[in-house]
Amino acid sequence: MRKGEIKLSWLLLGSLIASTGTSFVWPLTTIYVHDYLKQSLTTAGFVLCIESIVMIVGSYFGGHIYDRLNSHHWLLASIGLSMASMFILIFFNGWPAYPILLILNGFGGAIANTLVNSLATSIKKYDSRYVFNMLYFTANIGVVLGTLLVGFIIDINIRYIFFITFVLFFLFFMIAKKHYNNPTKSHQDQSEVKSDNEVVKTNIRNIVIIGLILLTYLAIQIGYSQWQSNLSVYMQSLGIAVKKYSLLWTLNGLLIVLGQPLINYIDEHFNVNEYAKIYVGFLLFALAFASLIIAKDYTHFVLSMVVVTIGEVITFPTISSLVNKLSSASEKGRFQGFVSMAASLGHAIGPLLGGLIIEISSYEILFFWMVVLVVLSGGTCVMLTGIRGKKQRR
């Protein structure tokens, strides 16, 4: 145990509130930039690319803060930056104010997200699989709430979106201020410090395994980002309303909310190998992206989203848990930062790359290349880490 260990319940509540607020913003970006601000898909992709690059920096900074600085103060500052961005967007949401403030919000959110995930590694009362599964579970309840409402609220007034998000971030700030104090390491954690006070680094074998897993995670996020960006415009071109696109994310969140407890039960009672779980998840993502090649009506998009979500439930929290177990105590923040960076890099490359491929060729070609990326990276990961990974111990 750590002295002053953060209660999981408060960490989950903060995650729920922050995720709900974030889910009011991200589904709108491509549609808002393209349809309301009258910019091209490539421009919208460029905005998302810059935001994601800034989030990569924020994720790295967040990991460094957790390992070496006072994470509590920096967490409050990062949430405060997101709050300020949303408050200003209530009054100034045209071009170029919207992308500038969106990027500032992304920077603050990336730091906060990495710090929350790093704080989750300090909770010793529960197995890390349970902690990250529950963190993912509550975050996606937020996705359900946010995406369910955003499609309706935007039809009233875009300002309401930013006002509600500001209020939610304020609540998150108050919870973090009172309940997210820095945990101090116990003697057990200090066992990873050498006698000359030099910390024990993560061994090379584990770093290689983490790197291969995160390479596939990056490929998945490049494809996943199409759902959050270019696919909204594609569905509209097929005559499918924005509200129906928004409801797909509500479905995504509901399936996660229903499926995550089942995953927790299976993990607790059957001790499923975590490597096997992520390999199955890689396969499901490849199948889901492949299904988009022939998707032309709403039913097909629903089915594809179901497969994507099952892969997501199995894979995303397991990756965070595995990285936690493979990294040394002195580098927990650093490697959780790398997890966030892989996701952000995927979101940086994905929309811009997708927009360029669409303008050069077609949506079908885009989906084909997403399948190729996942199959190649996932296959490499399975071949090089499969046998050794199952035997790996930290």
Helix (H, G, I), strand (E, B) or coil at 261: helix
Q: Where are the alpha helices (DSSP H) in the chain?
A: 8-23, 29-31, 41-68, 71-91, 97-121, 128-156, 158-179, 187-190, 204-228, 230-237, 242-270, 274-291, 298-326, 332-360, 363-391
CATH number of 8-181+202-391: 1.20.1250.20
Q: What does the domain layout of the chain look like in residue ranges?
A: 8-181+202-391
Helix (H, G, I), strand (E, B) or coil at 151: helix
Q: How confident is the model at residue 93 (pLDDT cuts 50, 70, 90)?
A: confident
Q: How confident is the model at residue 182 (pLDDT cuts 50, 70, 90)?
A: low
Q: How confident is the model at residue 243 (pLDDT cuts 50, 70, 90)?
A: confident
Q: Give me the mean pLDDT over the 25-31 stretch.
A: 75
Question: In the prediction, which pLDDT does 394 show?
Answer: 42
What percent of the chain has pLDDT above 90?
Answer: 27
pTM: 0.75
Q: How confident is the model at residue 244 (pLDDT cuts 50, 70, 90)?
A: confident
pLDDT at 180 over 50: yes
Q: Kindly report the average pLDDT of the chain as a whole number.
A: 83
Model pLDDT for residues 322-376, shown as the tens digit of each residue: 888 888 877 887 888 888 888 878 877 887 788 889 889 888 999 999 999 999 9
Diameter over CA atoms, the chain: 67
pLDDT at 2 over 50: no
pLDDT at 83 over 90: yes
Question: In the prediction, which pLDDT does 124 show?
Answer: 81
Task: Give the residue from 175, 148, 172 showing the smallest Cα distance to 249.
Answer: 148
Question: In the prediction, which pLDDT does 22 show?
Answer: 86
Model pLDDT for residues 302-337, shown as the tens digit of each residue: 999 999 999 998 898 889 888 888 888 778 878 888
Strand partners, 193: 199
